[in-house]
Amino acid sequence: MNEFNQFQFVSKKESGNLYCFWIGFIIYSLSFTLSHTPYATNIFRAFQLIGLGLIIVAVFFLIRPSIKSSYLQFFFIIFFAWSLLVVARGFQFNTTFIKNVIYDAKYGILPYFVPLILLIPTDRLFLKKLIDAIIVLGVFYLIFDVLFIRLLLSSDRSSSISQGIIEHFAILSIPSGFVLFTYRYHSTKRNLLALFIILVSLFLAIIRARRGLIFIFSSVLLFSFFGYFFYSKKKILILYLTVLFISILAFQVSNVYKIGKHNIFSFVLDRGDDDTRTGIELYFYDDMKSKDWIIGKGINGKYYCPDIDKDDTTGYRSVIETDYLQLILNGGLIYLVLLSLIFFPAIILGLFYSKNMLSKAAGIWIFLWICYLYPARVSTFTLHYILVWVSVGICYSKTIRNKSETAIEELFSPVGRFI
């Protein structure tokens, strides 16, 4: 990621391209989310194409082939070259396959191009519009919750439809955690809105027993609290309120267990220790050969796993819900190692060699993403994953890491934002 530019001077052309990029991305994300509801129509796919077209046009004019860190530059080139090779291996030139890899933000082709965000300069306007995009997606998340509230709170708590909706809606709400991690740079309204979005997301994840999402949103809240506690001058008051909150929560949890099946959280209690992955993972281990572990099977890689998907007729799956295994399935251990060589130094630089909350928040965001590789699919064409690579650029930028809190606060000063 390029160093900070002179924030005050952004050309109209660059400003227009940034608007085009984020508007296109928002259109694509919202359309992808709605396409996984019971009311999905082809119009959503049409909007996905429109959004993707805007993104491609904007990126063409925005990218700059300049990464200041020689270490990051070296491994980024190798990693991106390997990613292209993964895409090339198994790619099929037929209409059905091409449509699937373009429309699918989770398992398609687009996640492999997310690292290109490193080549877009991290000037003032870019970061401000990034935060604006987080807020816009969060607001739409709440709107979608209201529109689909009957499905989300259906009495059929094991409904795969409502569970799927919650999982896809979450791609709109998870990025709000980054606002909480960098709370001191944003208005009170934005921080409260982000907190509300995360709390609503956690509530819906709990009542639908989406354990991966429960872990994600709980960890976001926990690290947000740590950040607030670390920077706040009212530590004793915060500590007192925390003890009070934990005591109330413990009391409520005990009541949940007593009430059992008559409680809204009974489904998560029933599924608390269910093991839904071991069988799939054992099939995966049995099918993978030594070569497959090393280089993967390409973008269309499959493994033998019968009797799992009801409508499956071949016995082969191209998806495994444990994301680090999905990365190995497609790109092998080489892909995972290259990611580690980029991400772990970034975490260290952001957390231990920085002078501002922005850099530390970036390091935490990358760290949590690595933790999420087990419970959820997070290597996706979503703002959550884009934020990971933006965070990588922030952590490797010595200029950004050494900026004072005052300088970063000026960077996020409220100029032309709607909240």
Q: What is the pLDDT of residues 333-365, one digit of tens each?
A: 999 999 999 999 999 999 999 999 999 999 999
pLDDT at 159: 60
pLDDT at 240: 55
pLDDT at 6: 42
Walk along the chain (419 residues) in steps of 10 and give the mean pLDDT of each run: 47 86 97 90 93 96 87 97 95 91 95 96 87 97 94 69 88 97 93 94 88 92 84 61 58 49 51 65 93 96 83 82 94 97 98 95 97 93 98 95 90 62
Q: What span, in angstroms and rounded, lies between the C-alpha atoms of 131 and 175? A: 9
* 304 strand-pairing partners: 316
pLDDT at 208: 84
pLDDT at 402: 94
Domain ranges of the chain: 12-411
Q: What span, in angstroms and rounded, lies between the C-alpha atoms of 57 and 387? A: 20
Q: What span, in angstroms and rounded, lies between the C-alpha atoms of 97 and 107? A: 12
CA 394-395-401 angle, 5° bins: 85
pLDDT at 267: 53
Q: What span, in angstroms and rounded, lies between the C-alpha atoms of 47 and 41? A: 11
Q: Are 323 and 376 in contact (CB under 8 A)?
A: yes
